[in-house]
Amino acid sequence: MANSGLQLLGFSLALLGWIGLVACTALPQWQISTYAGDNIITAQATYKGLWMTCIMQSTGLVSCKIYDSVLALPAALQATRALMVVSLVLGFLAMFVATMGMKCTRCGGDDKVKKARIAMTGGIVFIVAGLLALVACSWQGHQIVSDFYNPLVPMNLKYEFGPAIFIGWAGSALVLLGGALLSCSCPGSEGKPAYRAPRSYTAPNSAKEYV
C-alpha cells in the first residue's frame, strides 16, 4: 500500500494540473494570428479561445467579444469546449474522492483497505480527466496545424499555437502523473494474518509389539 508521502505528492501534482486546466479553459489565447505572410498587418494581433475572440492593438489595448451563438461555432471547437468542461468537472470530483482516501486525512473511516480503494478511485478519475483534456488540446492543435498548411485557407485566416494550449498540455500531464501516483494506493492485506496449513503430527506409537 502506498505511503502517505506518495499520496500527497500525487494529489499535489493533480491539483496543480487541474488549476492549469482551469486557466487553459478560461484563457482566450488558444490560437494567435500568424505573421508568416508578407501582407499581414502587424499593428494588431488576433486571439481565439474557447469562449471569446480578442484583438490586441499595438498600443496595448485589448478588446474581446464573446461568441454570439454556440451552434454557429465549428464542430471541433464545440467538441473541445465539451471535453474541457467534462474534464474540469471530473477533476473537481476526483479531488473530493482522493481527499477522503488519503492516509493523512480522517475522512472515510479508519479502515486502511477501504481508504486505499477510495484513493485509488480518485486517482483513476484524475487519469480520465487528464485524458479528456489531453484529447481536447491535441484535437485543437491538430486543427490549427491542418488549417495552417492548408493552401485553400487564406493567409490572414491562419493561426498558430497560443500559450493556452501549451498550458493545457502541461496541465494534462500533471493530472495524469498525479492520478497515476494516487492509483498506486492499491488495497493490500495489511492486518490480516496469513493462512498457514495445519501441521500433521504423527502420534507416538506406545503399543508394545509382541512376538
- Return d(Cα 198, Cα 202) in angstroms, integer: 13
Closest CA to 147 of 82, 50, 77: 77
Residue 140 lies in a domain: yes
- Return d(Cα 33, Cα 159) in angstroms, integer: 5
**pLDDT tens sequence across 117-161:** 888 888 999 999 999 999 999 999 998 888 888 888 777 778 889
Residue 190 lies in a domain: no
Q: How far is CA 138 from CA 124, 132, 152, 172, in A?
A: 21, 10, 22, 11
Residue 61 lies in a domain: no
Q: Which of 2-6, 12-16, 172-176 has the lowest mean pLDDT?
A: 2-6
What is the residue whose three cell numbers read 508568416? 36
Number of H helices, E strands in the chain: 4, 5
Residue 43 lies in a domain: no
Residue 177 lies in a domain: yes
The pLDDT score that the predictor gives to residue 1 is 45
Check pLDDT > 50 for residue 195: no
Residue type, 73: L
Domain that holds residue 175: 4-30+73-183
* Percentage of residues of the chain with pLDDT beyond 90: 32
Q: How many domains does the chain have?
A: 1
Residue 38 lies in a domain: no
Q: How far is CA 198 from the centre of its chain?
A: 50
Query: What is the pTM (predicted TM-score) of this model?
Result: 0.79
Residue 50 lies in a domain: no
Residue 142 sits in a domain whose CATH number is 1.20.140.150
**pLDDT tens sequence across 88-122:** 999 999 999 888 877 766 665 666 778 888 888 88
The pLDDT score that the predictor gives to residue 205 is 54
Residue 60 lies in a domain: no
